Structure 1
């Protein structure tokens, strides 16, 4: 699936990933391929993903996520660490 992370300032990340773990307002949740369509808010916290056997991590300062047709779009208020 495709993960795209965007802030008001720039495109932070775009690429093919196998799993994404996100900081939801009601706790952490994970997204895998063929996840049902979803729109949700994000809390400040750690966003992690796996890409081709390697792992990536960054801290988002809240935002919104949309999942549709194996595309995970993260509209983050800010990315604090990459």
Structure 2
């Protein structure tokens, strides 16, 4: 049996990554899920978080924003609004975005602003988590 599967990470701007991997961990609304070759098909929403995958035994980590994940026939496609490595993240900008989102949540003038502020906070926290943990 095949122990690897094909992973493609796509953003609106480009194909961020494409290659054969041993394992993938993505975070859904219900929590993290691990993906190995030959698993059952799945399609699910993903939330802003740090994802990890193993390429030839080497662990790689990235920040991904919200999107959709699909796995079928040993082909995984992760379609997200943004994808960044630790080196691509501007820590100061992420810290400022976190502070802005916290301030907006304090104001909570309407439901739309609250939802947007929560998503902005999740993205900022995900980016900072990648910088701080890896």
Tell me if TM exceeds 0.5: yes
The normalised TM-score by structure 2 is: 0.59
2:39 paired residue among 28, 35, 55:
35
TM-score scaled by structure 1? Answer: 0.95
Structure number having the greater strand percentage? 1
RMSD: 0.7
CA distance in 1, matches of 2:29, 2:75: 21
Q: 1:45 and 1:63 mapped to 2: Cα distance?
A: 11
Pairing 1:14–2:27 present: no
Deviation (angstroms), 1:35: 1.1
CA distance in 2, matches of 1:24, 1:56: 19
Q: In structure 1, what is the equivalent of residue 60 of structure 2?
A: 56
Report deviation, 1:77.
1.2
Higher relative contact order (CA closer than 8 Å, sequence separation 6+):
1
Residue of structure 2 aligned with 1:74, choices 56, 75, 78: 78
Higher-Rg member (1/2): 2
Offset, 1:53: 1.5
> Could you list the runs of 5+ residues in structure 2 that have no partner in the other structure?
86-134
* Structure with the bigger percentage of helix: 2
**Structure 1, unaligned runs of 5 or more:** none
> Within 2, Cα distance between the matches of 1:44 and 1:10?
18
